[in-house]
């Protein structure tokens, strides 16, 4: 069930494109205040002193949603909306049949200016497509690409496994502001990108033929859902991305999720998420960037052995030949250290979990090397 609470905006805390955060004093007489988040492209910008209706489900359950209540309505301004989402010819609905469904102008909508391009698009022409489990891999993958081909045109495809609004990601906002992403394409039920697409394959084709990308990175948004079971995690969507990339003539590249700092055994070394996704669900030849054997330290041979045992060998038994590509790491660490966008995964930064970002950057460099 939904948990609704009503309050009054007391302070505007911070903002980034598409989002404003505020402190809201609850109207229940408790004197309590909450930090709340509003999507300005959906609701406009609440003002200090205004009444807002909040969804506090995740906040009250201490779930990993960033610690914010979500503004769902502004009763004092029932017609409030911004001009950020076109409402003229658009009729593509996302978050369908939910109270928050939103109408967008998708690139594959007959009313779109890109419709003729999308009708003709049927091949990725060798474009590198990087898939990953965690949204936190995104900036490190971009860093690996930029360290290798600074002029490469990079598009991000937001899949719908986690956060649906692209605006929720401060990482995407920062990458766009820094000029490090040519566009964000929100696919499936996700929305709020620079461009919208009905499906992941369509989003990838849009990245190539509308955005003109050399490399596309397709990852779910913030809020990966994991249960500790073998198959109950949202990062499995990475397999759909790679299968689509292979079917459409792209170059599938899997970013390995690794860690030598995660307290959970199933994510130490090569995460079971990568092993399951790439070893059992991917059905197209895929490239995995790894640390060169000649430069091995204690950690890297463990990852290489896990990759061979849980991904390469099971795929080979199914007649599928993946590529393990040794990638020269020269310059990647310096790029990660100086990267203008914050690097953080599961609350750990570059110094606390360096290999989580290094392996994402290796995937980015492999993508840049293999891109047309």
Supply the pLDDT for residue 64.
57
What value does the mean pLDDT take over residues 244-271? 90
Distance CA 183, CA 212 (A): 10
Top pLDDT among 275 and 1 is at: 275
> Which range in 54-63, 81-90, 196-205 is most confidently predicted, on average pLDDT?
196-205
Supply the pLDDT for residue 79.
58
DSSP state of 165: B
Residue appearing with tokens 């499995």: 236
pLDDT confidence tier of residue 287, bands split at 50, 70 and 90: very high
With contact defined as beta carbons under 8 Å apart, do 121 and 205 qualify? yes
Supply the pLDDT for residue 189.
97
What value does the mean pLDDT take over residues 185-194? 97
pLDDT confidence tier of residue 83, bands split at 50, 70 and 90: very low
Whether the pLDDT of residue 85 is over 70: the answer is no
Supply the pLDDT for residue 84.
45
pLDDT digits (tens, 9 = 90+) for 27-62: 988 889 999 999 999 999 999 999 999 999 877 777
What value does the mean pLDDT take over residues 191-219? 98
> Which range in 103-107, 230-234, 237-241 is most confidently predicted, on average pLDDT?
237-241
**DSSP strand pairing (102-104 vs 128-131):** unpaired
Distance CA 20, CA 36 (A): 8
pLDDT confidence tier of residue 144, bands split at 50, 70 and 90: very high
Rounded (5°) CA angle 182-186-189: 180
With contact defined as beta carbons under 8 Å apart, do 26 and 35 qualify? no
Mind listing the domains of the chain with CATH numbers? 4-73 (2.40.50.220), 115-370 (3.40.50)
Supply the pLDDT for residue 76.
86
Distance CA 327, CA 362 (A): 6
Whether the pLDDT of residue 277 is over 70: the answer is yes
Supply the pLDDT for residue 167.
96
> DSSP letters of 329-355?
-TTHHHHHHH-SS---BTTB-TTTSHH
Supply the pLDDT for residue 78.
58
pLDDT digits (tens, 9 = 90+) for 165-188: 999 999 999 999 999 999 999 999
Supply the pLDDT for residue 269.
84
Q: In which element (H, E) is residue 60 found?
A: helix 57-60
What value does the mean pLDDT take over residues 271-294? 95
Supply the pLDDT for residue 172.
98
């Amino acid at each position: 069930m939904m948990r609704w609470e009503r309050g009054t905006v007391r302070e505007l805390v911070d903002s980034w494109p598409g989002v404003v955060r505020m402190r809201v004093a609850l109207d229940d007489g408790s004197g309590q205040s909450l930090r709340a988040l509003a999507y300005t492209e959906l609701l406009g910008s609440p003002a200090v002193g205004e009444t807002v209706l909040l969804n506090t489900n995740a906040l009250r359950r201490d779930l990993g949603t960033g610690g914010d209540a979500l503004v769902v309505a502004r009763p004092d301004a029932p017609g409030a909306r911004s001009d950020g989402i076109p409402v003229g010819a658009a009729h593509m609905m996302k978050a369908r049949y939910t109270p928050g469904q939103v109408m967008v102008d998708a690139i594959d909508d007959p009313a779109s200016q890109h419709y003729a391009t999308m009708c003709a698009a049927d091949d990725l022409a060798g474009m590198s497509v990087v898939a990953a489990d965690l949204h936190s891999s995104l900036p490190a993958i971009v860093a690996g690409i930029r360290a290798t081909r600074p002029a490469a045109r990079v598009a991000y495809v937001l899949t719908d496994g986690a956060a649906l609004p692209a605006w929720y990601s401060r990482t995407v906002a920062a990458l766009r502001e820094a000029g490090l992403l040519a566009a964000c394409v929100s696919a499936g039920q996700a929305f709020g990108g620079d461009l919208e697409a009905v499906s992941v394959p369509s989003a990838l084709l849009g990245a190539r033929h509308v955005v003109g990308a050399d490399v596309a990175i397709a990852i779910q948004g913030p809020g990966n859902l994991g249960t500790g079971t073998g198959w109950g995690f949202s990062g499995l969507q990475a397999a759909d991305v790679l299968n689509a990339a292979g079917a459409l003539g792209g170059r599938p590249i899997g970013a390995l999720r690794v860690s030598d700092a995660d307290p959970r055994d199933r994510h130490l070394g090569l995460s079971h998420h990568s092993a399951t996704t790439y070893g059992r669900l991917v059905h197209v030849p895929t490239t995995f960037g790894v640390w060169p054997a000649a430069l091995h330290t204690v950690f890297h041979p463990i990852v290489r052995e896990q990759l061979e045992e849980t991904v390469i060998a099971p795929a080979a038994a199914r007649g599928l030949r993946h590529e393990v590509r040794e990638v020269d790491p020269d310059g990647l660490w310096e790029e990660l250290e100086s990267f203008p966008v914050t690097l953080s995964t599961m609350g750990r930064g570059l110094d606390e979990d360096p290999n989580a970002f290094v392996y994402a950057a290796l995937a980015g460099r492999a993508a840049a090397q293999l891109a047309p």
